Structure 1
Amino acid sequence: MANDDSMKFVAYSRGEGKSLVPQPPEKGLFQSTAEAPSGAVVVLDNSTDLSKVITGSGDAVVREISMVKAVGGIYAYQINVMGKGPRGLFAGGMELKFHDASGDSYKLELWSSSMASHEVQFNSSDAHIVKIEWYNTST
């Protein structure tokens, strides 16, 4: 549920990689919405569908990214990604890198060419995700 205060983003390419950065950056990339009552999702242009923005080679794509508080275990946070890696023999993968406000980063690689849910768990002193990068990787 986005409103007039919805996030503005700058998506840019640098070499082989691409990045998504919110403007202003201190707001972070995730928003709480009615669709994600227990956490927050990345919303671009009033939509949680990221498949036109976060893409890679060989039909690699990210459809949605959400973040929740991790349940049990040693980690406090969990980022969930609905997406798929590139298709084709020796196609490699797509790597996502999430940067938080504390300066830490967390990597997640998508290798399967089937749409599936992927996750990365982490601890942080300031878990606001301020940048998402994605790259094609080789085998």
Structure 2
Amino acid sequence: MASVTYLRSIANNTPYTLTVIDGENRSHSLAIGAQHAWNGSLAVPWIGKSSENHKALRLILGPAAGTSIWLYQDYWQPAHEDAIKQLTASTMEYASEEAVEVPGDNRNGGNKNLIISLVNRQFTLYMA
């Protein structure tokens, strides 16, 4: 049986405000200021096919909110591992070959912390 991942904290270690939009409940969004953190409970949505793209969490960062990072829990790739993946793109596409697992403790569900940093002008995510 699949395990759900809950983000219990999001640390925004960038010089930009981070906006998080919950694709399953678009009226639920939050803004995390530069060099600030959010604490609470946010489920990472399951996605297993392209028709579910709308469910992903959208992280918007950068000058003029120019970068979107899509965050989701992959139901199938790899199966039974509950991997959290990210895709940096203007639109979410489950089948994209650009989607990668978030570095760190991203598998097996449970309570996790997400850390977002800016390294060499690239946004990086890390799960702890």
- Which bracket does the TM-score occupy, shorter chain normalised? 0.3 to 0.5
Structure having greater relative contact order (Cα 8 Å, sep ≥ 6): 2
